[in-house]
Copies of this chain bind each other. A is one copy, B any other.
């Protein structure tokens, strides 16, 4: 999109607007608002942001065991002595680890796949950390693998594929319950969620 006047935006400003516009959910208007904010901001603030981006890319790596993000070799969860090594919770992304940790309901280990199977997007089995998961199940004292991939089509397909791979290894494979969200309204639940909730009903 080039409109009259855009040639007046000096190159370093145009470049920052362009780079910010590549971020997800940041359109051209937001990108220029942020750019002009940074232009007015203290040098220190802008430098701290640039430095934080650089430092994160340089220092943050993936845990060699569970592929969660970390600095150094192993992540804080893998090095913790208070976690139960007999359980591995498989998630799609590092943010999912944080979501589960915030519940306080899980004390086992994790394994981050870094995506889900999506052949149409060009994401295949070998793009995910699946072989590494199978190696862990074979080599570590695991008795349960919780497949906490997202409750959507791709997540279900990924979980189904993992189930096939894990079945011969003699490990218990589970999946978090589907049902009505807490605080939700039965009237507004989609048919699939309500169906899952009825199917998974429990004795009181």
- Chain A interfacial positions (CB closer than 8 Å to B): 3-13, 15-16, 18-20, 22-26, 30, 32-39, 43, 45-60, 69-71, 75-77, 93-95, 97-104
Is A69 a contact of B34 with CB atoms below 8 Å?
A: no
User: Interface SS of chain A: helix, strand, loop or mixed?
Assistant: helix
Chain B's closest residue to A15 (CB) is B52
Cα A99 to Cα B8 in complex, Å, equals 11
Is B55 a contact of A15 with CB atoms below 8 Å?
A: yes
Besides A4-B102, A10-B69, A19-B48, 8 more A-B contacts (Cβ < 8 Å) are A5-B101, A6-B98, A10-B70, A11-B71, A13-B69, A19-B45, A39-B57, A46-B56
- Write 15 A-B pairs (CB below 8 A) sorted by A numbering: A5-B97, A5-B102, A8-B75, A8-B97, A10-B69, A11-B71, A12-B58, A12-B71, A23-B49, A32-B95, A36-B93, A39-B60, A39-B69, A50-B54, A53-B53
